Structure 1
C-alpha cells in the first residue's frame, strides 16, 4: 500500500471534520426544531381550554395542565405524584380501577364519565383516554362539567324518588286532569277508595263525594282560586262504606296534572268524637257530682274545682283558682282533724282520708267534712274530695245524746225515787237533832250537813228534770229582767270570788215567749260556772241584743279558757271540768234552750277565756 502524505491525510481529516460539522449543524437544527415543537406542545398542554392529565399504569398522576388546576383551584404540586383514586370518593374508587384495567387492554380512544371530588365537592367530567407510545402511560382529556349529565342524573334521581314516593307512600295519591278524570293512583289510594285500578281510572274524584252541598261548592271555588287547599270531606265508597278523608290538593303539580293526597281519618274522627263526648261527660260529672272536688298541682296551687266545692267552701271558683290550697284552708277544730298534715304527706302515702271539722270566716258554726286525697291522678294533678257530713254528725250526736239521756232519765227516775225518801227522813232527824242538842259548837256541823243535803236535793231535782218531761207554760217576759234577777241572786258569790259582772243591753228589746224559771236556771248554771272558773277573780261580761228574728245573749269570762278537745265534750252527761261537778248542769241548760227552739254555741281559747252564745227565737205566739 502506497504511503499517504501528511498533507493528504490532513486534507481527508479536514473533509471528515467538515462532514461532521455539517451533520452536527443538521442535528442541532433538528434538535432546535424538536425543542420548538416540544415547547409548542407544552404551551398547548398548558394553555388549551380543556383539562389534560397524564398518569402511569398505576394511576399515579404525572402531569396536569393549568386549565384543570385553575378550575379546581389547586396547585400542580398538590396533584402531581398522587394517585388519581385520591380524588375519588370511596364508593367510586372501584369504578376507576376497573376503568384503568380496561384501557390497558384496549387501543384507541376510550370515553368515560369520571366523578372527581376536589375540596369536598363532587364533579362529573367527560373523559377521553388513550395510551402514550412506548408504554409511557396514559393521556386523558377532561372536558368541563357536563351540566346536561348532572341535570339528567338529577332528573333520574328525582324520577326514581318520585316513583318510590308515589308507589310506597302510605297515603293515597291520585293524579287527575282538569276534568276530574283520574289518571293515576297508587296502591294506598286503591285501598282507601275500595276499588281496583281499572275501575278507579274510569272514575272522577267527584264521583265519590257523599254530599255535594254548598260547603263542597265553596271548597271547589277556593281550590281554583288559591291553586291548593287542605280539607276534610265525607266520601262514599263503591261498596257503600262512608269514610271521612283528609286530603291536600295542588293544581298543576306533576307534569301539568293535578295531585291530591288522601288520608283516611275516619277512625281518628271517631276517636276525637268519643274523646269530646267523654270530655263533656267528665265535665258534667265533675260539675254535677254532690261531693266537692278540688284539683291542685305539685305546688298545691288550685287548678280547678266544681260547683259543689264552691258551695261547700262558700267561695267563687275564679277567686280561688291560682291560690295555694294549704294557705286557704283554715285550721281544724282539733289537731287530729286537720287536713293540712295529710296533704303534706300525700306524696309519700299516695292517698289518704279523714274527717276535717272547720269554721270558715263567714260562718259561726263548725262544718264537718269527710275528705279523700289522692296524689297525681293525671299529669301531675292531685285531687281532694270533700263531703259535708255536718248534718249526719249532728244527727249521730243527737242520737248518741238521746240514747244517753234515755239512760240518764231511767237512772235518774230510779235514783231520785230511792234517794228522796231517805233524804226526807234525814232532813227531819237533822232538824230534830239541831233543836235538841243546839249549841254554838255544833252549829257549824249542822250547817255543813244541811248545805250538803241541799246540794244532794239539787242534784236529785236535776235528775228528775231529765227523767220526765215537765209541763211548761210559756209566757211573755223581758229577758233583761230575767238576767238581772239571776245576777242579783249570784251577786254575793261573785263578790266573794272577787268577780266583777258587767252588763250591756240593747235598748227597746222585744219581749220573749219563754218559761222564766227555766231560763233563769240556764243563766244561773252558765254564770255560776264562770264565777267558779275565776278562782283568782276576774270579769264576766253579759250582753243582750236582738238580731233579725232572734235574741243573742253572750256570757263572756276572761278565765283560762278550754282546749278544743274539752270544748268538743261540753254538754255531755256527767262530763265536767270541776272537782265537785256532776256534768248535769250544762246538759240541763242545753235541753232547756233546745226546748225553747234555740241553740247554744260555745267559743273558747286557752289563755283568753270562754263565751257562751245563746240564740233564742222571738216568739209571736206561745208554744204548746
Structure 2
C-alpha cells in the first residue's frame, strides 16, 4: 500500500498492522457486488479486471474509486495475492450526476474538470471541448472528427461504441491513446454518455481522463515484476525467500541446480538441512540481527544433495513479498573468490619478490659502473645479486660459465630443481645455472629474471671486452710506432758492426784462437739482434691474410716436423682424418702453431706431454693444444694475450699477442684455460667459411 492511501485519511500502517482489511472500507451497499464479481473473475481464470465502487474515508465520506486489479498465481495456478491501482474518480461520478441534472451546471463543471470533456454530434464531430492536450488549441479541434485524434487501430471499436450509445442511450467506456506532435504518447480512459433532450439522444459527451501516469505505473509494475522474475530465475546466484520462521517459501532455479534438489524437494526442507554436519551457524540469531539492522551478510558453507560442500557469501534483507514481510537471501558461490584470495596472498609475496628482482637488476647496473672492475669481479658480484633476488636465497646455489670458465658459489651442488639461461655472442657464451638445494619450484618471473640477468651480464661483459680491446689496440698501435722507430735506429749500427766483423775476417786470415772466437760471438749476437728486430717489425706489419684452401692437419704436421722437441717431451697427435679443408693463410697459421708449440715447450722445462687434437664442429674447426707444464695462474690468464705481458725471464711478451691477432684476422677465436691435471689448454676455433675482411 503506497502513501497515496492518505488521500482517503488512512495510513499504510493501518493495514500492515491488521487493524483494517481492505474490505472494511468498501461501502456496505457495494461490498456484496465487489466480492461476487471478484470471485467470478477468479473462477474464470481472469488475470486483470476493472471495477468502480464506493469506499468510506476515515472521516466517513463516500468516495468513488476506479480499481484495476491483477490476480497473481504461482506455477501451480494457485492464487498467491492481488495487486491493484486505485484511482479516485469521485469528481467524475459527481460530474456525471450533475451533467444529467443541468446542462448549465454541466458546462460549468466541465470547464473546471481535470478531465477532457467533449460534446460530439451525430457525425461524431467535436462541437465542444473544455480543454485540449498541450499541442492543440480549442479552435483547431472544434468541428473536426473525433477520429482525427483516435489511433487507426481503435477506429472501429470506438465507432461501434459511439453508435451504441446513440442507439441505446447507455453509457460505455474504453481505453485509447493519443500521440502528440512531439511524439509523446498520452493514455486516456474514455467514458461516453448520452446527452438527452425530451427523451431523445441529441449529442454524446466524452469524458477522457488522462491516465498516462497510471499506465506508466502499471507498465513499471509489470516490468518490475518481469525483471524481478527474470532476475530471480536467471541470476547466477542461488536465491531463497523465507518467512519469519525461516521456512523456504520460494527458491530460484539456480538454487535447485546448485544444490541438486527439485523445487518441490527444496521447499519441503528446512535451512538446517543444507548446512553441513558440524558446521555451526546461528540461524535464529541471524534473523534477529536481520530484523534489527534490515540487512545481513555472512560467509558460510552449504551442502548439496550429494553431500558436496562449498563456501558461500549470503546476503539477506527483509522485503515485502505478497503483502508480507519476508526474508530474501542471496547465496553466492565464493569458491573462486576463496581461490583468488589465496592467490592475492601469493601475489603480495610475488610483489615483494619482484622488488627484490628490480633491486638485483639495479645492483647489476651499479656493479658495472665501478671504475676498473674486472669481468671476474663482475661475475662474483652477480652471484650475490642472484641469490638475494630468489624466493628462498638461503637454499640457492649458482654456477656461471663464461668462455668455458666456471664460477661457483661455495655451496654449489647440482640438483633436479634448477633453472638455466644462456646467451652467445661473438663465439663466447654466458651461461647461468641456479639450483635449489631442497625441493622448491621456481616462479615464472624468476625464470624471466634469470634470462634478463644473463642478457645484461652478456652486455656488460661484451662492453668490457670491446673497451679492453680498444685499449689493447691503442697500446698495440703505440708499441708498433715505438718498435718501428727503434728497429730502424738499431739496424744501422748493427749493419756497421756486421760489416766490420766481415772485414776483419777477410783481412785477418790467420787469427789467434781467442780473436776468432770473439769475432764469431760478435757475429752471432748481431744475427740474434737482427732476428729480434725482424720479429718486432713483423709484429707491427702483420699483413692481410692471403686465403687459400688447405689442410690444417698437414700444416700442424709440417710445423711439428720443423721444430726440435726436447727428448723429455712426448708429442701426442689426435688429428681428425675427416677434417674438412678450409681457407687460411698458410704462413700466418704456421706462425700461430709455431708460437703455441714453442710456448708449450718452454712451459715444460722438466719434460711432459704435448697433446694436439683437431676436430670438426658445425660451423668451425677446433684445435686444442694441451701441455702438462707448470700452468698459468688465474691472474695471468686474463692478461696473457696483452702486448709486452710475459711471465718468462726471456722474451718480451709478443708471441701470444701475435697469435691472437692472426687468429682473429682469420675470423676465429682463441681461448685459454688451466688444465685440471696441471698445465694449460689453448683452444683455437677457425670458421669453416672464409671471412670477409
Q: TM-score, normalised by structure 1?
A: 0.45
Q: Which has the higher contact order (CA 8 A, sep 6+)?
A: 1
